[in-house]
Amino acid sequence: MTMEEATAGDRLDVVLFPWLAFGHMIPYLELAKRLAARGHTVTFLSTPRNITRLPPVPAHLSPRVRLVALPPSTVEGLPEGAESTADVPPEKNELIKKAVDGLAAPFAAFLADAVSGGRRPDWIVVDFCHNWAPAIGGEHGVPCATFQIVPASFIAFFGSRSANAAHPRTSPEDFTVLPEWCAPSFPPGITYRRHEAEWWFATSKPNASGVSDMERMWEMMESTRFAIYRSDDEVEPAGAGVFSLLSDLFQKPAIPAGILLQPELDSHHEDDDSARPEVLQWLDKQPSKSVIYVALGSEAPLTAKNLQELAWGLELAGGLIARTMAERRVGVEVARDDGDGSFGRDDVAAAVRRVMVEEEGKVFASNAERMKRVLGDQRRQDQYMEELEGYLIRYKDTNTPIVPNGISTRFNFDQQFTSGFIGEQRRGEEGCGGGGRRGGRRRRGKKDRKFDKSKVRCYNCRGYGHFASECQKPKK
């Protein structure tokens, strides 16, 4: 539905409220722009400093995107003017969560004012941390959805409250193996290392805000009408059926919105070279295949020693590494110490040579080019947005049931874990993720297949070939 096609009855008024990190705010802003381009009105909420630091909204969309600053609260230990995770060291991120909780009252006042002024939003879309927002929306009859900017497989690994209660993870080691609800469909190599598992385990513990990240996420998933993901089938583990899995885990629709890549340049300024970001202008001047992208994470802390090893490794390799989607062989991950995540210069150099010098590099280049074409297929990305738009329009009435036909009894955590479903439904079928817009088809149910447990690892005894619920050894 384009702006010209949107009828008055189909036009939405949506409030977007991201977590106070630019890695979240930017995708939320991209979602705002895409909804605005389809004729809908969007209110983007954050704090004053964050609003001023956002990229400008294209002029042709700005009438439909309203940026509203909520007054931040004072939090002991948080530096003055710190309004995002970019303003504090990693160890103080939990204070930003406490600051987010201080936005509950201003948010409630904003919503009450909007409703009393005859501007009741159709939807409130919030991030993982706003566990108090759905209740406030409910007081005014405004439904909530959650928009997760992390990979959908990340949330699947997290799992629902009931899944974790049935199969408790009580130590960091429990996060270094696939959880039982992911094991039937996820590739066995997609797990976390010890240093990453430490972070995962920490999310289950209360932080300075008094609430754990895991509890926040569970409350959000339980109190919102459906979950939107900044993802699509092409970037999730092949064959894992992540969106069906998420619908089953949380018993509500899991809707991909596409990857929401920022356009290189707004179409209204195509002839203005000065508007092109400086880094892209620099890249345009480099010879083909002469630059390697080193991805460390948007806010990943890097020690001075690791920075030195990275520089030496690049020097040894004779050039500048992409750490992404290793399962699809479009990049290579530098070998890291399993305990603390550190890496050495030789590891960096070996990874660079593997991509840029050795014969295997041709495979990576070919796969990356193919992935570029797939992710750059704007028609396909538009289809994801069209499906999301359809959900927002159809289910804005809080009295309309929203349980899709695709949700199954796959996970009955009151009994022993089972690996079968009543039938797996593709997005695009009536009642599931798009209501038939893309002509979905039904696949044969997994209950008709024999599941090979040989690669399943029990996180009770660490043995293979059975789930923890089937383990005969004493429970740890």
> Under DSSP, is residue 438 helix (H, G, I), strand (E, B) or coil?
coil
Alpha-carbon distance of 6 to 48, in angstroms, equals 32
- Which two tokens mark 351? 């990874």
Strands (E), 107-198: 123-126, 144-148
Q: Would strands 13-17 and 41-46 be described as parallel, antiparallel, or unpaired?
A: parallel
Strand partners, 17: 126
- The Cα–Cα gap between 254 and 229 comes to 7
Q: What backbone phi and psi angles, to 5 degrees, belong to 123?
A: -145, 150
> CA 468, CA 466: separation in Å to the nearest integer?
7
Of 311, 306, 358, nearest to 332 (Cα)? Answer: 358
- Strands 227-229, 123-126: pairing is unpaired
Q: Catalytic one among 24, 40, 130, 167?
A: 24
Radius of gyration of the chain (CA): 23
Q: Cα separation of 106 and 99, whole Å?
A: 12
The structure tokens listed for 408 are 């199954």
Which helix (H) or strand (E) covers residue 227, if one does? strand 227-229
| Six token digits for residue 237 | 């583990």
CB 215 within 8 A of CB 160: no
Cα dihedral 197, 203, 206, 208 in deg (nearest 10): 100
**Rounded (5°) CA angle 97-101-106:** 135
Instruction: Pull the structure tokens for residue 271.
Output: 């002839």
Alpha helices in 140-274 (DSSP H): 152-158, 161-166, 194-202, 213-223, 242-250
E strand or H helix at 15, and its extent? strand 13-17
Which residue type does 229 have? Answer: Y
Polymer length in residues for the chain:
476
Annotated active-site residue in 13, 101, 122, 127:
127
Is 127 known to be catalytic?
yes
Known active-site residue 24: yes
Q: Are strands 442-443 and 424-425 parallel, antiparallel or unpaired?
A: antiparallel
- Residues belonging to the active site: 24, 127
